[in-house]
Structure 1
């Protein structure tokens, strides 16, 4: 993978954006993870305007989720949005969400895995910070996608459609490299979360590491799926207004 310089990254933000694509989502089901603010909320509004049969706003906080549903209704006029609770820092919550999808959804056409946070300097709680950042942006996204694959493959076969999983990544993945020690570790995620590994220097690039894992997961996952069943991709949203840094400590 060719590196991208900081200058190239900044220059990309000034490129002319293509027109937003709209399609008819009538009859389809869409789930957006981390849907109450920022990119997730804007994506949810875009989907709402395309009239899906079901639009699931998956949020960690019920109160904020309800506010998001209300704002979405006001902004788009779409009245069928559903609030489902999921905490990507909790494997049990992810499993419960997947179980609910299996029980209550007839189909699942689009899954947007968006939730994440930055932790460039959270080194005073090194091991906990390591687990938190590597969980919401990597391992739990992976667990959720894997758990929902049977539902999405079934959707493809029953309805003759091409479901997709979208992992929100970032071009900052170009700015990090995994050391040989990490790559050759018998359990990479355990190593990433270990107190010994999460030094202040490592934590400075932790968000970049998590985005690289997002990209690698999307590529590897796509390769392991049945041909023409589900499309898995990762996207770079560029600079945008979000709450990505909301959990950083005050200086």
Structure 2
């Protein structure tokens, strides 16, 4: 059933090309230097966004992406900005928030950055996939929610906060939910199943957003949602994909 749904959404469903103007609006994209984040930045510029901030771990890579965007679109040098943030560090996320809170407005926060790894690593006393994909992602979301709400109130708009998730959540086993302390179980190196960890992280993302929406209701001033981009060409699975998977992804993965 999952495979059929994936094939249908990948090769049959046609997503309408966005046409809404983003003129005057400010966008933040985590992981905006590559893959889905970079393609999203292209669309926002195409739709006349006034300020696009690429929030990336490597400023060197972000600056290269900025240059490519400026060479591809007839924009002035101040529209695309590069800000540093490392989601494996809570201090870095908080520092980013302190800078972003001074923005005159924030219309879109696209939380796209994430990792997929087969190696158990620790970041901020948790397994790194959980730290980056879940804890830091939602730390940034909840810290900047106030700026999004402020924008909604002052400008009379409806800002969006979107977490890039994945249909791979459907395949997660997530047996850790049965334990008394889910995060402690996920942090146990001996029992960690890293081949399922990315899927679990995406399921937790969806559950968190659904819970937030169920608590705050549909009249909340900010649209808070998740998106499933489908099978795409990106660098996300470089570490974990087999040579065959990489070849198939190159042939059939979406690239825009």
Same fold (TM over 0.5): yes
Which residue pairs with 2:186 in the alignment? 192
- Aligned runs of 1:210-225 on 2, under 5 Å? 210-225=201-216
Q: What TM-score results when the alignment is normalised by the length of structure 2?
A: 0.86
CA contact (8 A) 1:51 1:78 kept: no
Task: Label 1:15 to 1:209 Cα distance change in 2 as closer, same or farther (>3 A).
Answer: same
| Alpha-carbon offset, residue 250 of structure 1 | 9.1
Distance 2:237 2:35 in 1: 12
**Alignment partner of 1:162 out of 154, 158, 161:** 158
Which residue pairs with 2:177 in the alignment? 182
Which residue pairs with 1:235 in the alignment? 227
CA contact (8 A) 2:107 2:158 kept: yes
Say whether residues 1:207 and 2:205 are aligned partners: no
Distance 1:106 1:9 in 2: 40
CA contact (8 A) 1:117 1:246 kept: no
Structure 2 segments unaligned to the other structure (5+ residues): 244-256
Q: What TM-score results when the alignment is normalised by the length of structure 1?
A: 0.88
CA contact (8 A) 2:26 2:108 kept: yes
Task: Label 1:224 to 1:150 Cα distance change in 2 as closer, same or farther (>3 A).
Answer: farther
Say whether residues 1:246 and 2:238 are aligned partners: yes
**Alignment partner of 2:3 out of 3, 6, 23:** 6
Say whether residues 1:42 and 2:33 are aligned partners: no
Say whether residues 1:132 and 2:123 are aligned partners: no
Task: Label 1:8 to 1:21 Cα distance change in 2 as closer, same or farther (>3 A).
Answer: same
Distance 1:21 1:231 in 2: 17
Say whether residues 1:98 and 2:97 are aligned partners: yes
Distance 2:215 2:152 in 1: 16
| Alpha-carbon offset, residue 55 of structure 1 | 1.0
CA contact (8 A) 1:169 1:214 kept: yes
Count matched residues: 238
Structure 1 segments unaligned to the other structure (5+ residues): none
CA contact (8 A) 2:158 2:223 kept: yes
| Alpha-carbon offset, residue 53 of structure 1 | 2.2
Which residue pairs with 2:168 in the alignment? 172
Which structure is richer in relative contact order (CA contacts within 8 A, separation 6 or more)? 1
Task: Label 1:8 to 1:19 Cα distance change in 2 as closer, same or farther (>3 A).
Answer: closer
- Aligned runs of 1:57-68 on 2, under 5 Å? 57-68=54-65
Distance 1:176 1:250 in 2: 19
Distance 1:84 1:60 in 2: 8
